[in-house]
Structure 1
């Protein structure tokens, strides 16, 4: 008798719970009648992913060593090691060197974009990104926008150190801002090369190795340290047409108060080339990987 009563009571409770549960029709009507949130714009999605990159720096501040300690070391080392031998004095050499070494350092920092992308791929993060209803290139553009902060920080650090040891830009604050702006535009565009490598190669060590093989000849075979007129003719032909040479000359002349229209045009042309060619290649790999 007791068992039967208990069973009846539990069955009645289960029936009441079943009756109180929402029906499928009710849930469907709620979902249909409710308006979906608007799809984020391309700019909004890109800025969100850019903020994600900034938050990574916040949680792992050691990532800033390559844009703080490394630039300081580069400026001091090349100024005091080679200034006397190449220009007769460090005070004269720093006027030529600083815009060039600034260009070199920022361009070298760009390769860490590919390493960061490759690391996220190995963790499976990009599998989640591709399922989101967002503008397709937003994760890639977000990485590059977040890295713009690193380029600006590296520029500020190097210019501060340069001013302390004797660099005086004749172009004043406006010339410095224009030079840094040209450099940041080029660095943003050049970073698409490393996003391609980050998607193409299978490990972050491979990305780092290939990046070094590309970036070291490109930056050292330029007018960053010396005037190309002292080089052999066959080497001058390469150096004078290098994108790093055009950018370094543009930054140097802008900070000196000049307006190097040809070098600015070449720098912006190279920037457009990197975005169009390597940006398209990056997105093709991203959609297929």
Structure 2
């Protein structure tokens, strides 16, 4: 049964990846806005922001990486909506393939495309002066957090991809997620925020992830932030996956 699921997912993954490679502008577009934020905040606003002992781009990059992921998941919802509205899901139903393989193919495509976009943003940050003395284990830990975060948000994006009634509705999900890092420690320390805003910023998932990635890059202890970050990612991932599968089974039954 598992071998059947893996084989079906691999075949459908090849299909969705071909769609992405034929439209590389989706990856480029995903990376353009985060790079624009880097340029804006580092060269225009960065001089007015106190980042402590580190340079501002070192402080800023972790939040920008999360924005990159958030801006990329809208394409997952769009591609899934296209399959739903275009009748491809109905065609897959008539074939002897694992039911969930279709969704997993879209999710894994999103993961790969977003990691490429993240890599482009990291290269841009390096060109702008970002430096880290972190070792290979720290970089792998950062990659693990970003992969988990991407999987969690992608499964959230699957839900509007299945339920939206228009292309705009399917793609609109990313916009509130993009702005979530702005009310976190991504751009400024939370200590500078007014009371209610600070309370929200310190207790939402992005702040713990940003703090963890920032500490890993700076070779500092991550403390409890890493467990809070992973807890948020795991909770969102499980809840979104279960919800998406329930909706999917109702749609295809």
**TM-score relative to the length of structure 2:** 0.90
Q: Is the 8 A contact 2:164 2:170 kept in 1?
A: yes
Q: Does 1:227 align with 2:189?
A: yes
What is the aligned counterpart of 2:199 among 228, 237, 254?
Answer: 237
Quickly say closer, same or farther: Cα 1:166–1:138, change in 2 above 3 A.
same
Backbone CA RMSD of aligned residues: 2.2
What is the aligned counterpart of 1:56 among 12, 19, 28?
Answer: 19
Quickly say closer, same or farther: Cα 1:87–1:216, change in 2 above 3 A.
same
Deviations 1:125-152 (A, max 9, x none): 1111223322221111111111111222
Give the aligned partner of residue 85 of structure 1: 48
Q: Is the 8 A contact 2:63 2:187 kept in 1?
A: yes
Counterpart mapping for 1:7-156 below 5 A: 40-87=3-50, 92-156=55-119
What is the aligned counterpart of 1:265 among 223, 227, 235?
Answer: 227
Quickly say closer, same or farther: Cα 1:88–1:280, change in 2 above 3 A.
closer
Q: Does 1:182 align with 2:145?
A: yes
How far, CA to CA, are the matches of 1:159 and 1:177 in structure 2?
14
Quickly say closer, same or farther: Cα 1:211–1:154, change in 2 above 3 A.
closer
Q: CA deviation at 1:108?
A: 2.4
Q: CA deviation at 1:88?
A: 8.0
Q: Is the 8 A contact 2:161 2:170 kept in 1?
A: yes
Q: CA deviation at 1:40?
A: 4.9
How far, CA to CA, are the matches of 1:88 and 1:118 in structure 2?
42
Quickly say closer, same or farther: Cα 1:223–1:275, change in 2 above 3 A.
same
Q: Is the 8 A contact 2:34 2:67 kept in 1?
A: no
**TM-score relative to the length of structure 1:** 0.79
Q: Is the 8 A contact 2:9 2:101 kept in 1?
A: yes
Deviations 1:217-251 (A, max 9, x none): 42321111111110011111111111111111111
Q: Is the 8 A contact 1:169 1:176 kept in 2?
A: no
CA radius of gyration, larger in: 1
Deviations 1:100-141 (A, max 9, x none): 211222222123211211121111111112233222211111
Q: Is the 8 A contact 1:39 1:134 kept in 2?
A: no
Which deviates more from structure 2 when the two are superposed, residues 139-148 or residues 252-261? 252-261
Which deviates more from structure 2 when the two are superposed, residues 70-79 or residues 192-201? 70-79
Quickly say closer, same or farther: Cα 1:217–1:52, change in 2 above 3 A.
same
Deviations 1:70-116 (A, max 9, x none): 33323222211211111389x82111011221122222212321121
Give the aligned partner of residue 279 of structure 1: 241
Q: Is the 8 A contact 1:179 1:252 kept in 2?
A: no
Q: CA deviation at 1:51?
A: 2.0
Give ranges in structure 2 of 5+ residues lacking alignment. none
Q: Is the 8 A contact 2:149 2:233 kept in 1?
A: yes
Q: Give the number of aligned pairs.
A: 250
> Matched residue of 1:87: which SS?
coil
Quickly say closer, same or farther: Cα 1:43–1:114, change in 2 above 3 A.
same
How far, CA to CA, are the matches of 2:185 and 2:51 in structure 1?
18
Deviations 1:154-201 (A, max 9, x none): 221121111122111131343223212211211111211110111111
